[in-house]
Amino acid sequence: MATLAAHKKHKVTIVGSGNWGTTMAKLVAENTKAHPTLYELNVQMWVFEEEVTIPKNSRHYDPGSELANKPQKLSELINNLHENVKYLPNITLPPNVIANPSIVDACKDSTILIFVLPHQFIARVCDQLKGHIVPYARAISCTKGVDVSEKGIRLLSESIGVRLNIYCGALSGANIASEIALEKYSETTVAYDPPPMDSRNPTPKGSPTSSTVDLISPSKANPSARSARLQALPSDYPPLSHENVRKLFHRPYFHVRMVSDVAGVSLGGALKNIIALAAGFVDGLGWGDNAKAAVMRVGILEMVAFGKAFFADSVHTSTFTEESCGVADVVTSCMGGRNFRCAKMSIERGVSIDEIEQSELNGQKLQGTSTAYEVNSFLKSQGMEDDFPLFTAVYNILEGKVKPEQIPDLIERKD
Ligand SMILES: NC(=O)c1ccc[n+]([C@@H]2O[C@H](COP(=O)([O-])OP(=O)(O)OC[C@H]3O[C@@H](n4cnc5c(N)ncnc54)[C@H](O)[C@@H]3O)[C@@H](O)[C@H]2O)c1
Ligand SMILES: O=P(O)(O)OC[C@H](O)CO
C-alpha cells in the first residue's frame, strides 16, 4: 500500500526579539534554509514594538540622513537593515527573518512557536494568542524562569502548554547570546517529549486525531495537575521527531543534544540565574574565584535538591550534572552572564540591582531577581526556606535583610 508522504512544511515563529530572541531567529532561519523539505523558509519574529533611534556608534548611523536621530519603529528597522540595532547590534540577520509587530499575525498558521521572552511577559502574550493559533501547534520554551502563583510553582514549558492547550518542550544551555550570534562554538540541550501520536506518520486510517495528555505531571509543586485534549499533528506535516526538531536548532557553531526531560531543562535554566546573582555578589566584594566556586557548588546542590523535592516524578538529576542546561549553564552564567555582571556592579557601586538593570542593560531584562523572589515565595509557602540557604540568602540580600558578606555563614552546612 502506498504511504502518503508529508507534503506540508512547518511554519516557524519566534515569539520575542530581545538579545536571545534575535539570536534564536538568526540560527533558526539559517536552519529553515538548510532544511527546505521540513520548514518554510521565512521565519516570523514577533517584535514588542517600540520606537528606537539608531545609536550613533552603529554602522547604520548616517549623520547626513534625515532619519538620523529620529525614532523609528523597531520592527521596520529590523526589516530594512536586517539588524536588531537595539537588542543585537552589529549582527546581520538572514533576509528570511521577518520582524512582525503583530503577535497574532506572526503566529498565524505556525506549527512551531519558539518562545524567547523574558518570563514576566509569557502569561500576557499567551493570553493574546489564545484562539489564534492552530490547535496542533507545538512550542519550545527558550525562556529562563518559573511561574509561581498561589497554586504552586509551574515550569514555563508547563505554563505555555496549559495556557495555549498545546505541547511545549524546552531549550536551555550555557548560551550567552552575544557569543552565539558571533557564531562562537556553544552547546545546548533541547528537551522535547512529544505525545506518541506525533511520531505516527502518516496517521493510520480510522485512528484518533486527538488524545488526552497530561500537560502538567502531578507533583508536590503542582498538586492540581491538569490534563488537556491535545490535537495530533496532521500527517501531512513532517513528524516532529527528535531528529527533525534537532535540525531546527543545530548549527556547526551551536551543538544540540536532544533529551526528554523537559522539567529538568526548564528548571536548570531558571535556578541558575539565582546562583549567578550570588556569584556576582561575592565577586563584587572582590573575593575572587574560590568564593565564586563555593557559591556555584552550593547552588548546584540546591538546584538538584529543588528538582528532587518538587519535581521528583519528572526531573532526572543527570540532566543537571551531564547536560549543558545544568552545571555548564551555572558556570557560564557565573562568569559572564547579565545577572552575574549586574549583581557584581550593584555591590561595587553600592546601588540596587534594579538601578543597574535600568542604567546598564538598554532595555534587556534580568531574570534572576524576579526568579529569586518567586522561588522564595514558593519555598515560604512550603515552609522550606531553611533547606535552600543560598536561594534564601540571595532573596534576603535583594530585600536588604542580610549583607553579601554574610553569605559564607549563611550557606555553611549545619551538620
Ligand atoms: N540573552 C541571553 O544571553 C540569553 C541566553 C539564553 C536564554 N535567555 C533567556 O531568554 C529570555 C529572553 O531574553 P532576551 O535576552 O531575548 O531578552 P532581552 O532581555 O534582551 O530583551 C528584553 C525583551 O523584552 C521585550 N519586552 C519589553 N517589554 C515587553 C512587554 N511588555 N511585553 C513583551 N515583551 C516585552 C523587549 O522588546 C525585548 O525584546 C529570558 O528568559 C532569558 O533568560 C537569554
Ligand atoms: O545573561 P543572563 O544572566 O541572562 O544569562 C544568559 C544565559 O542564560 C546564559 O546561559
Residue with cell 520575542: 16
Domain boundaries, the chain: 10-260, 266-411
- Note the pLDDT of residue 210: 60
Closest-lying ligand 1 atom to the alpha carbon of residue 178: 3
Residue 82 CB neighbours (<10 A): 17
Ligand 2 binding pocket includes 332 (Cβ within 6 Å):
yes
pLDDT at 4 over 90: no
Residue with cell 527558550: 142
Ligand 2 binding pocket includes 188 (Cβ within 6 Å):
no
Q: How many helices (H) and strands (E) does the chain have?
A: 16, 14
Better-scored residue on pLDDT, 64 or 201: 64
The string of pLDDT tens digits covering residues 134-160 is: 999 999 999 999 999 888 999 999 999
ipTM of predicted complex? 0.99
Which among 200, 179, 146 has a CA at the least distance from the CA of 378? 146
Closest-lying ligand 1 atom to the alpha carbon of residue 144: 41
Do 366 and 342 contact (CB within 8 A), yes or no?
yes
Dist CA 284 CA 295 (whole Å)? 13
How close are the terminal C-alpha atoms of the chain, in Å? 68
- Note the pLDDT of residue 214: 64
Residue 207 annotated as binding site: no
- Mutate which of 24, 52, 117, 360 for ligand 1? The one with the most ligand atoms within 8 Å of its CB, which is 117
Mean pLDDT of the chain: 93
> 211 CA to middle of ligand 1, Å?
33
Q: Which amino acid does the sequence have at 361? A: L
Residue 381 annotated as binding site: no
Ligand nearest to the CA of 186: 2
pLDDT at 3 over 60: no
Position 262 confidence tier, pLDDT thresholds 50, 70, 90: very high
Q: Does domain 10-260 have CATH number 3.40.50.720?
A: yes
- Note the pLDDT of residue 207: 45
Proportion of the chain above pLDDT 90, given as a percent: 87
Strands (DSSP E) along 179-298, which ranges? Answer: 186-191, 210-214, 227-231, 254-259
Helix, strand, coil shares of the chain as percentages rounded to 5?
45, 15, 40
Residue 18 annotated as binding site: yes
Do 370 and 145 contact (CB within 8 A), yes or no?
yes
User: Do 10-260 and 266-411 agree at the fold level?
Assistant: no
Proportion of the chain above pLDDT 70, given as a percent: 92
Instruction: Assign domain 266-411 one CATH number from 3.20.20.70, 3.30.360.10, 1.10.260.40, 1.10.1040.10.
Output: 1.10.1040.10
Dihedral, CA atoms, 164, 50, 40, 204, nearest 10 degrees?
A: 0
Dist CA 159 CA 382 (whole Å)? 20
Q: Which amino acid does the sequence have at 297? A: R
Residue 255 CB neighbours (<10 A): 15
